[in-house]
Structure 1
Amino acid sequence: MTKASIKQTFRLDAELVRLVAERARQRRVTRTEIVEAALASLLSADHEERLEAALTKRIDKLARGLERLEWNLDLSNEAFALFVRFWLTSTAPLPDTALPAAQATGRKRWEGFVESLSRRMEAGPKLAEELSRDVGNSFSK
């Protein structure tokens, strides 16, 4: 017993027709079978469940990425705060006569810092990677 079929005429985008033909050729089936399978999948009762599962998977991946981003931001904030506290508590104020020389040295050091930061951001390694390595090495000793 064969399934009853009804001939229909539809207008489809040329690119979509090309994709259907390509998929049919790849799978060695007819274009009709490809279109029937796609429609059956779209109209099946579990289509929405599969779509929801795919979206949930994507959202979970985004959430993990955001958690890593949050951890890196916390690390950066803490490292910066620690540095500033250390610098403020260990650096003595300069006398007025030494200020111009200190400012010139500071400008040179700043330019070196910016250049070094640029290189690290382009090529790595990043601070988080170095800290992970350093912490791992300190536990293995």
Structure 2
Amino acid sequence: MSRVRLNIFIEPDHARRLDELAAMKGLSKSSIIAAALASFLSPDAADRRDAAFAKRLDRLSNQFDKLERDQTILIETLALYVRYFLTVSAPVPEAQQEAARAQGRLRFQQFIEQLGRNLMRGRSLVKEVHEEVFPDAGQFFAMDDPAAPGSGVPDEERLA
């Protein structure tokens, strides 16, 4: 079978990566390019690319659904807390309002500082409290485990 010689121009980065791959695999650059071209031109190449995109989009969709669920939980938690706080808080008498504002500013500053410390440490207060309450529960926040509850994997797939 005869072969056709082509002179092509490629980006310097692609040329470097091709050289590295050829050296690492012990193959000629021509054979690597021929295999890549055959894969690109094959009739099912588009289907494979579409399947890869669909798989990635499914993962992104699952991650988005989890973020949306978490945001809904956060908003509901905040709303319930605000309603509870406003229900149980007694009004401050007029004579004590300035002192209450000063105390509020101080408490808010302390809150912001604590929030900053937690964020800098990379620890979650919710996770810490959960570990204190349920020390033997294992990983509640198993983000790296795709089969963990809340990981975006549907229950029927996780439980199968």
Please report the TM-score for the alignment, with normalisation by the length of structure 1: 0.84
Post-superposition offset of 1:18 = 2.0
Give the whole-Å Cα distance in 2 for the aligned partners of 1:11 and 1:124: 47
1:1-141 matches, cutoff 5 A: 3-126=1-124, 128-130=126-128, 133=131, 137=134
SS of 1:50's equivalent in the other structure is helix
Give the Cα separation in 1 of the matches to 2:39 and 2:114: 55
- Number of residue pairs matched by the alignment: 136
4+ runs of 1 displaced by more than 6 Å? none
Cα deviation for residue 95 of structure 1 reads 1.1
Is this contact kept in 2: 1:41–1:47, CA < 8 A? yes
Identity of aligned residues (%): 33
Q: 1:24·1:34 contact (CA, 8 Å) conserved in 2?
A: yes
Amino acid at match of 1:33: S
Greater alpha carbon shift after TM alignment, 18-27 vs 82-91: 18-27
Deviates more, 1:12-21 or 1:27-36: 12-21
- Rounded to whole Å, the distance in 1 between the matches of 2:100 and 2:40 is 71
Counterpart contact for 2:18–2:29, Cα < 8 Å: yes
Residue range with higher mean Cα deviation, 83-92 or 62-71 = 62-71
Q: How well do the aligned residues superpose, as a CA RMSD in angstroms?
A: 2.2
Structure 2 counterpart of 1:34, one-letter code: I
Per the normalisation by structure 2, the TM-score is 0.75
